[in-house]
Amino acid sequence: MAAKDSIQEPGADFIRDIVRADLDSKKHKKVVTRFPPEPNGYLHIGHAKSICLNFGIAQEFGGQCNLRFDDTNPTKEEQEYIDAIMADVRWLGFQWDNLFYASDYFDQLFEWAEHLIKTGKAYVDDQNQEEVRKNRGTLKEPGKNSPFRDRSVDENLDLFRRMKAGEFPGGSRVLRAKIDMASGNINLRDPTLYRILHAHHPRTGTKWFIYPSYDFAHGQSDAIEHITHSICTLEFEDHRPLYDWFLENLPVPSKPHQYEFARLNLTYTLLSKRVLTELVKGGHVEGWDDPRMPTIAGYRRRGVPAEAIRDFVKRIGVAKANSVVDLGLLEFSIREVLNKSAQRRMAVLRPLKVVIENYPEGKTEELEAVNHPDKPELRTRKIKFGREIFIEQEDFMENPPKKFFRLSPGTEVRLRYAFFITCKDVIKNAAGEVTELRCSYDPATKGGNAPDGRKVKATMHWVSAADSVPAEVRIYNQLFSNPEPDAANFAAHINPASLEILKEARIEPALASASGEPVQFERQGYFTADGSSTPQKPVFNRTVGLRDSWAKEQTKA
């Protein structure tokens, strides 16, 4: 995907068009949106799309956006997730106007359920789950009415109140709306409003033995909060008639409207909380914030700036048809932001020792290195040069093919900010592996240019052997090796090379006490100190690699 073709000006999607029209026509005085996560896992980049949309619209149109936890299923929800979601929304750069919980509305929802019973529009069904499922019918066949569908209002009220009081075992009965078992829309075939669940709720404790369904809680919560535009993903399009049915049949204080947009799908990525939960619980990754996870916490730990995620979301836009976005576009956004902000440093990931034979023993000298090529205000720093240095193993070949311009026996290359060196000799171990190079240097080339104007074909990064410090560098690759991994069989598609740990890397000494700011390791990519990094044991995560073409240009410089 060509990134620049998909850049979207703010305000240029169909939902913003609707909002603008509704404000212009005075249908609404103020736009009110909400982001409604279920606290049953950490937020992923798909949620970021929804967050940027809901909070973004409120910001752009001078409205309001609520954070509402859809905490209607206490068996799967935890305080840890609530805390993580709030931290992630803030980190993405947004602040909610109100913090709400669907559980704040449990009393009101219960009252409305009784209202439906009293108006003959809801009944208690004693069928078990299996029977309910069987009698729901299929897309081709209508469903069958429950034998309990015509209970009297009094009997329904009595049973429902006893469900609430905890008199019946979990799963033994449900409250259903009485709509139409023959409806072409299966969501309207007497959907469940309440189920019995003897579970402790993180907020309401042991008060409730019954919990509302997503459908019964969602639209009514929107109505209570006077949400004007209830924005959700396309899977809920078929739920909209039910969403509207509740609003029409209940004495709600406002009538929100649901709009659906295409969810984000990314190549090499699964964005489903079920799968992400299994990845964590099954030990396939280190946790929700494992830098290979497509979670906000994972990206943050990896060093991805919030700005890059917002930029990515803006580029992909908001559409009404589902599609799969190239992961490369996310990486493009990350590089765009980091290229501007990240300071340049030198680090050697897989070191090969070089001894410069004509450099005096014991001597060191300081060289001037640029911190950012486009930002002179970030100035320069001093780096130390000495008789022994490290270069990248892959920058040397004993028997190079024609197009290999880096170091090989007899060739001369430039060491970035330092000197030209020429390889004189190759030292190997008993196994025949190259363990050390013996080189010479030309003192007249200090700073990187030869007074006689002679050219070299490669510039390589390096670190001083005496002055650099060891570090662990973690190279993250795609978690799945298949561009469209199968959610049902995700374990089979896990990339065995998703994490490569380099324990022998060498970095400029000042990097050892680096903060969480991403830096560019020249010619390698962008890297960020891991949360576990200490000056004694520095650990860096690769945030994203450099584009190949870019890296090659640097080499030729």
Residues 210-239 that bind ligand ATP (CB under 6 A): 232-233
Binding piece for ligand ATP, criterion CB under 6 A, among 32-40, 155-163, 178-186, 294-302: 32-40
Q: Which tokens sit at 164?
A: 């609430």
Amino acid code (one letter) for 154 = D
Exactly one of 264, 279, 456, 479 binds ligand ATP (CB under 6 A); that residue is 264
273 noted as active-site residue: yes
Smallest gap from residue 23 Cβ to ligand ATP (A) = 22
**Pairing status of strand 174-177 against strand 122-125:** antiparallel
Pick the catalytic residue from 49, 273, 300, 542.
273
Closer of 82 and 232 to ligand ATP (Cβ): 232
Q: How many angstroms separate the CA atoms of 386 and 388, rounded?
A: 5
Binding piece for ligand ATP, criterion CB under 6 A, among 138-146, 264-272, 422-430, 528-536: 264-272
Query: In this structure, are residues 540 and 473 in contact, taking their beta carbons and an 8 Å threshold?
Result: yes
Binding piece for ligand ATP, criterion CB under 6 A, among 30-38, 91-99, 383-391, 427-435: 30-38
Site for ligand ATP contains 263 (CB under 6 A): yes
Smallest gap from residue 30 Cβ to ligand ATP (A) = 21
Pick the catalytic residue from 38, 131, 331, 484.
38
- Compute the radius of gyration of the chain from its Cα atoms: 31
Smallest gap from residue 259 Cβ to ligand ATP (A) = 11
Smallest gap from residue 478 Cβ to ligand ATP (A) = 17
Closer of 50 and 333 to ligand ATP (Cβ): 50
Site for ligand ATP contains 68 (CB under 6 A): no
Q: In what order do the strands lie in the sheet with 122-125?
A: 122-125, 174-177, 192-196, 210-212
Binding piece for ligand ATP, criterion CB under 6 A, among 36-44, 161-169, 286-294, 384-392: 36-44
Pick the catalytic residue from 20, 136, 149, 263.
263
Exactly one of 15, 31, 32, 47 binds ligand ATP (CB under 6 A); that residue is 47
Bridge partner residues of 422 (DSSP): 412, 440
Site for ligand ATP contains 38 (CB under 6 A): yes
Smallest gap from residue 47 Cβ to ligand ATP (A) = 5
Q: How many angstroms separate the CA atoms of 411 and 396, rounded?
A: 10
Query: In this structure, are residues 162 and 156 in contact, taking their beta carbons and an 8 Å threshold?
Result: no
Exactly one of 15, 19, 32, 37 binds ligand ATP (CB under 6 A); that residue is 37
**Residues near 420 by Cβ (< 8 Å), separated by ≥ 6?**
412, 413, 414, 441, 442, 445, 450, 456
Binding piece for ligand ATP, criterion CB under 6 A, among 31-39, 284-292, 387-395, 429-437: 31-39
Binding mask 266-285 for ligand ATP (x = CB under 6 A): -----xxxx-----------
Site for ligand ATP contains 46 (CB under 6 A): yes
Query: In this structure, are residues 390 and 463 in contact, taking their beta carbons and an 8 Å threshold?
Result: yes
**Residues near 120 by Cβ (< 8 Å), separated by ≥ 6?**
153, 178
Smallest gap from residue 89 Cβ to ligand ATP (A) = 11
Q: How many angstroms separate the CA atoms of 222 and 98, rounded?
A: 13
Environment class of residue 493 by beta-carbon count within 10 Å: exposed (0-12), middle (13-18) or buried (19+)?
Answer: middle
Q: What are phi and psi of 285, to 5 degrees?
A: -130, 175
- Alpha carbons within 13 angstroms on the beta-carbon side of residue 526 total 25
CA distances for 136 relative to 18, 87, 132, 156, 215, angstroms? 36, 41, 6, 21, 17
Q: How many angstroms separate the CA atoms of 430 and 411, rounded?
A: 25
Smallest gap from residue 148 Cβ to ligand ATP (A) = 31
Closer of 95 and 322 to ligand ATP (Cβ): 322
**Pairing status of strand 412-415 against strand 459-460:** parallel
Cβ neighbours, 10 Å, residue 233: 15
Q: Would you tell me the crossing angle of helices 45-60 and 14-24 to the nearest 10 degrees?
A: 20
Smallest gap from residue 340 Cβ to ligand ATP (A) = 27
Exactly one of 33, 50, 295, 543 binds ligand ATP (CB under 6 A); that residue is 50
Q: Which tokens sit at 524?
A: 């390698």
Q: Binding-site residue total for ligand ATP (CB under 6 A)? A: 16
Residues 379-438 that bind ligand ATP (CB under 6 A): none
For ligand ATP, the nearest residue by Cβ is 46
Residues 500-519 that bind ligand ATP (CB under 6 A): none
Point out which residues bind ligand ATP (CB under 6 A): 36-38, 46-47, 49-50, 70, 232-233, 263-264, 271-274
Catalytic center residues: 38, 263, 273
